[in-house]
Structures are given as C-alpha cells and as structure tokens.
Structure 1
Amino acid sequence: MSAISALEQALESRWEALWARVADKDPVELLDALRAECDRNVVVCSESRVVVPNAYDVELADGVHDELTRRGSSVGQELTDALMRHAEGKGYEWAGPLTVHITRSSAVPNGRYHVASRVMTHVSAEGFQYVTH
C-alpha cells in the first residue's frame, strides 16, 4: 500500500467518524440544536395544524466548517433531511420551503456553532445569504 493511499484511507476513516457524529440517528449536538430551534418556535394554529419556521441558518466555527465540508459533502442537505424527518415525526407544517443554510463564522458563541431560524416564504439556500436582518 502506498503512502498516499494509506493517507487517503486514514482521512476517509476520520471523515466517516466525524460525519457519523453529525448525521447518526442517535442524538447529536448539532442536530439536537436544530431540532430544539424548530421546537422552540412552533405556532399552534389549530388542533391539527402546527407551523414551524422554514429557514435555518447554521453558523459553524472555522474548524467545524472545514471538517464538515472538506470532501464537498452537502452538509446543508443532510441537516435539512434530518430536520425534515424530525418535523414529520412531530406533525409540523413548514411555513414555506425548508432550507438549512451553512456558513462559516469566527464569532459563534460556543466556539462550535450557532443555530437560528425564521419564517421566509419561497426561499432557497442560495438566496438565503442575500436576505438582510
């Protein structure tokens, strides 16, 4: 085995271990933060209709961002899928099209990530960055 393929295998193993912590079915900190953000912002419209925000902004510390995006994986899509499953399980309805936008930030409060949400109609992850607060 060449040194390069050994290095590739080591990097791949490290990536898989890191991704397992983020995308695993078991509760993980980042997914829990997204779920909690969703749950904290429910609006009960009727007995059969509970609406939640549809636009989630996840700011990742530089190191966390580097680790999660290193291989070009669509972290935003993975988190969106996990949040979608959570909402389906709770019977939530989205206020508009669901998107999770990932950004890099050197000023996250806990040094790892920050999660925020809001209601935005007809938004895509690409358009998310152009919205002013």
Structure 2
Amino acid sequence: MSTLTAWERALERVEGALVAQIFPREPVELVGALRRECDSNAVVCSQRRVVVPNAYDVELAEHVHDELNPNEGQVAQVLTDKLARHGEHKGYEWAGPLTVHVTKSRDVPNGRYRVTSTVMSHISAGGFRTSDN
C-alpha cells in the first residue's frame, strides 16, 4: 500500500472541491457508491493481494443523465480516476484494465443511479455495454 505525501493529499482535496463545484451532488455520491461496490467485491487472495472488479457500469436516471450530459465524458473520467485512486490507497489489484462506463436508464431502484461491477479481462470504455433502456 502506498502512503500519500502532503502534496498529494492537498491535491486530492483541491480536486474534490473542484469536482463538487463543477458537478451536481450525484457524481460526488457516485464516487462513494463506486468505492462501496469495489470494496464489497474485493477478493482476498493472500495477505498482500486483494483483487477487485475492473469494469463498472453506472446507470443514471434519465433526469440525472440529462443534467450531466454536457459533462458526460468528463464524469466517466472523473469517476474512473477517483476509483483508481481508491484502489491504489487500499492496495487493490484490478482484475484487468479499469473502466467506468456511464449510461442512461429508465429503471434505477433509487430514482437516481445504480452501480454494478464485473470482471472483464480485455476491455476498453468504447467496448463496454451501451444501451439506452
């Protein structure tokens, strides 16, 4: 596991504040949901090896998706970056290349978003499932 320098911690605080100002509340909540999804699916292989899923699908309710639409590509990248940092802090090993894909859905249980994960060995964000339910 890595330890952060004071500079890295300060940079993360600034980035977090910037994300909170640029995006509405949902992306900040989504970061927490992604972290929980990652943590709850961690598989301990040994004392020094914990493997987690690498493909995350974020389904947004239509109104949330439409609100974020101008920043859709940025939202996926911010979520991916935040999740990558979380994994690094926890000492996780990704099951393959990490990606977070954001889609629109008419059917999300909490009326805002749903986060799921899976293990996919050779993926790219462009090759991830795309559907507008």
Structure exhibiting the larger radius of gyration computed from Cα positions? 1
Matches within 5 A, 1:42-81: 42-71=42-71, 73-81=73-81
What residue number does 1:94 align with? 94
Q: Is the 8 A contact 2:72 2:102 kept in 1?
A: no
5+ long unaligned stretches in structure 2: 1-19
AA of the residue aligned to 1:64: V
TM norm structure 2: 0.77
What residue number does 1:39 align with? 39
CA change 1:88–1:56 in 2 (3 A) is same
Q: Is the 8 A contact 1:69 1:75 kept in 2?
A: no
Per-residue CA distance 1:59-112 (angstroms, 9 max, x = gap)? 000111111122454211110000001111100010000000000001011000
What residue number does 1:19 align with? 23
What residue number does 2:114 align with? 114
What residue number does 1:104 align with? 104
Q: How many residues align?
A: 112
Distance in 2 separating the partners of 1:47 and 1:29: 30
Distance in 2 separating the partners of 1:81 and 1:20: 18
5+ long unaligned stretches in structure 1: 1-15
Q: Aligned Cα RMSD in Å?
A: 2.0
CA change 1:72–1:57 in 2 (3 A) is closer
AA of the residue aligned to 2:23: W
Identity of aligned residues (%): 64
